[in-house]
């Protein structure tokens, strides 16, 4: 039986009494604190993500602070927020089976509460009665008693089965539709499953075993990786807080627990949060031998500044200079903060459009272009991206990516080197962009990127293994792509 919002079947609670704030009893108009601040924070963030295209990683911290939520409650709010976003596709399929109409027609203030309840019921060790009760209380506060009864009825339907039983009931047959089965089981849009499988070199007929391992990894909570900025800190400086050395980057350290923003080294600007794959792509650029001078480097799309911070430190050590260009002023300000006090004050930041650059052609010895992309390589950290992006997003970004790579090559002097980087493994955004530019020009050669990342196993990809591709399930990093090109 399905449940309609406001239908008799949803009216499981007692009818609220009328006139509770009647004459002679002045209503208390003081702001009331929610009884369950962790769930309220998670709800507020999920609704902002759904309604305002907010980013959870940018909104959650300020929302926790504004609500005065910390410690275990903050950890619960974080798990509720990110866990719900990661599993949203599966939960929506379950919820859709429990109402009598399209889930998209459910009130906007109700849907985040339903998803939160489904996450507690299907993926957390919260007793069913507690998960339903807490979510109904939340719904009563944010949407009123009428909709709270609807939430109560739907969640009681959800609680009738566990996650495995719901997936078995709702997912298509794996043998006949492996993409569809994985999409529902691992909570990814179907088109993303197809794109990731293609990037891994798998087809539906292969069974998609590695694609599934990738999807599982993207549903796991990522660890915190720190960057010890060259010349300002070392990973050993983070030993007292329990950090361990990175697996690949000599500047990386893994933080086992805690808020990195509270570390003294982070507050001092000596250490930043940066994915290890991201660190390695910047490091690879510095490892390529260039002929002649090696004094002027460019980070053409520098925001938010993680790679620029690493490059600035390494440039200073080599008596080189780094120009960091960023189109958006607020992100340029962030870049300036990350490169502040770098070795020998080696970096300068400019607000610049890298498709119409303010710098001269052939002015730089090394150029990094970290192109805007779909971000499908960072779904562990930005799980809402999988629901926000559409297949059309790829086609919309490719012309910009080609233009940025072409201008980056123009900015590089003969004998210099260009690194093309994306945080997406999608073939159209990576290998095909590089191949298209290479076919158009006779002044560049593609270098074998894996040769400059010898400490990273199983990383070569593309024709003849020319490119490098990091993967969450193989390397524990974001799915960063790297191509290295030398200008003749």
> Which neighbouring-strand residues pair with 369?
420
| Residue 423 is a catalytic residue | yes
Pairing relation of β-strands 321-326 and 296-299?
A: parallel
**What pairs with residue 482 in β-bridges?**
421, 468
Query: Which of 113, 96, 100 has its CA nearest to residue 151?
Result: 113
Beta bridge partners of 366: 297, 417
Let me know if 319 is exposed, middle or buried by CB neighbors in 10 A (0-12, 13-18, 19+): exposed
Active-site hit among 98, 301, 373, 423: 423
The first and second tokens of residue 417, run together, are 């080197």
- Measured CA to CA, the distance from residue 282 to residue 302 in angstroms comes to 11
* Six token digits for residue 430: 């990576």
3-state class (DSSP) for residue 325: strand
Annotate 19-77 with DSSP letters as a single string.
-TT-TTS----SPPPPS-HHHHHHHHHHHHHHHH---HHHHHHHHHHHHT--HHHHHHH
302: left (phi over 0), alpha (psi -120 to 50) or beta: alpha
Q: How far apart are CA 257 and CA 367, in angstroms?
A: 35
Query: What residues does 273 pair with on adjacent strands?
Result: 226
**DSSP alpha helices (H): ranges in 186-270?**
190-200, 209-218, 264-267
Tell me the CA distances in angstroms from 419 to 286, 297, 470, one per residue in order: 10, 11, 15
Reading the block at residue 204, the tokens are 């539906």
At 187, list the tokens: 């909570």
- Active-site annotation, residues: 423
């Amino acid at each position: 039986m399905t449940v309609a919002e406001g239908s008799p079947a949803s009216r499981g609670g007692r009818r609220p009494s009328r006139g509770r704030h009647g004459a002679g009893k002045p209503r208390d108009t003081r702001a009331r604190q929610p009884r369950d601040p962790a769930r309220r924070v998670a709800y507020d963030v999920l609704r902002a993500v759904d309604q305002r295209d907010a980013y959870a990683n940018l909104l959650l911290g300020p929302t926790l602070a504004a609500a005065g939520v910390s410690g275990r409650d903050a950890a619960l709010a974080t798990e509720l927020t990110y866990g719900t976003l990661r599993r949203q596709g599966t939960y929506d399929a379950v919820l859709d089976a429990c109402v009598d109409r399209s889930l998209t027609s459910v009130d906007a203030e109700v849907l985040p509460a339903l998803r939160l309840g489904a996450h507690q019921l299907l993926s957390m060790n919260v007793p069913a009665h507690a998960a339903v009760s807490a979510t109904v209380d939340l719904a009563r506060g944010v949407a009123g008693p009428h909709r709270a009864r609807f939430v109560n009825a739907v969640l009681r339907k959800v609680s009738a089965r566990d996650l495995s039983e719901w997936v078995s009931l709702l997912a298509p047959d794996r043998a006949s539709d492996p993409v569809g089965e994985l999409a529902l089981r691992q909570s990814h849009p179907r088109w993303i499953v197809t794109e990731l499988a293609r990037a891994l070199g798998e087809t539906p007929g292969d069974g998609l075993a590695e694609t599934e391992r990738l999807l599982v990894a993207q549903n796991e909570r990522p660890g915190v990786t720190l960057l010890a900025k060259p010349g300002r800190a070392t990973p050993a400086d983070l030993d007292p807080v329990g950090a361990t050395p990175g697996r690949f980057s000599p500047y990386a350290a893994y933080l086992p627990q805690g808020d990195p923003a509270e570390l003294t080294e982070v507050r001092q600007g000596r250490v930043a949060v940066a994915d290890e794959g991201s660190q390695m792509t910047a490091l690879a650029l510095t490892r390529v031998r260039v002929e002649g001078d090696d004094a002027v480097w460019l980070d053409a799309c520098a925001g938010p500044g993680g790679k620029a911070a690493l490059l600035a430190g390494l440039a200073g050590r080599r008596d080189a200079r780094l120009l960091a260009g960023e189109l958006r002023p607020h992100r340029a300000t962030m870049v300036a903060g990350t490169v502040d006090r770098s070795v020998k004050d080696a970096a300068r930041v400019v607000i610049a459009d890298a498709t119409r650059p303010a710098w001269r052609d052939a002015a730089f010895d090394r150029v990094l272009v970290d192109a805007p992309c779909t971000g499908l390589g960072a779904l562990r950290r930005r799980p809402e991206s999988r629901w926000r992006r559409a297949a059309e997003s790829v086609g919309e970004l490719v012309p910009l990516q080609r233009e940025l790579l072409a201008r980056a090559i123009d900015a590089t002097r003969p004998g210099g080197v260009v690194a093309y980087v994306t945080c997406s493994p999608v073939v159209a955004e990576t290998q095909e962009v590089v191949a298209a530019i290479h076919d158009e020009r006779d002044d560049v050669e593609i270098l074998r990127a894996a040769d400059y990342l010898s400490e990273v196993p199983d990383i070569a990809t593309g024709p003849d293994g020319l490119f490098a591709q990091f993967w969450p399930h193989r390397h524990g990093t974001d799915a960063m792509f790297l191509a290295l090109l030398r200008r003749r």
